Every structure is written in C-alpha cells, then in structure tokens.
Amino acid sequence: MSEKENDLVIERMLTLSTTHIDPNVLDRMNDGVPIGCIYDTKDVTGFMIPVIQPPDEWEYKKAPLCIQAALDLALRHQCGYILFDGDGPQTSELPVYEHDE
C-alpha cells in the first residue's frame, strides 16, 4: 500500500468517477450523512476514502454496496485511498450509475 523512500511515505490512490456511486448514496454523502464508512469531503464534486487493510469488517459491512465494490477494487490494487471525483475516470470493473446533472 505504501512505499518508504528515505523519510517519505508514498501512498497509492485509486481515482474513480463519482458515477460509480449509487445516486442515492451520493446524495447522502453530499448532505454529510454518515454512510457507514469513513470519508472526507474533497470538495463539492468528490470524496476521499481511506482503504484500511485489513478492512474493519464491521465498518465495511455498514458501507453501501457501491462503496464496498470500490474498496474491494482498491484492496486488489494495494491502494491506500480512493478518490471519487466528479471528473474522475470510469472503469469497466465497477457498475456505472446514471446521475442527474
């Protein structure tokens, strides 16, 4: 998940489009409603989620399925964080949800 280079710790981050978040879940996140996993608001178009390894089973199961799928993908690629960004890339490895503009 991270590399040490001298006194630096460099983390891997998976950047994904917010279209990989179910619109109902995204609305709750935008409103600041807890969704069962820890996240920080990046800005109005994105969210940063730490990927804990091994995952905390209790917190993981409380997360919506779309977030669980993204966490699974991030763990497979040894990432320390997920950045959901409104302008981020889509991947064929996750469902894509239609969002109202």
In the predicted model, is pLDDT for residue 46 greater than 80?
no
Residue 46 has phi, psi (to 5 degrees) of -165, 165
- Degrees (nearest 5) of the Cα angle 56, 59, 61? 105
Look at the block and give the residue holding tokens 């608001």.
Answer: 41
What is the reported pLDDT for 24? 92
- The mean per-residue pLDDT over the stretch 21-41 comes to 73
What is the reported pLDDT for 34? 62
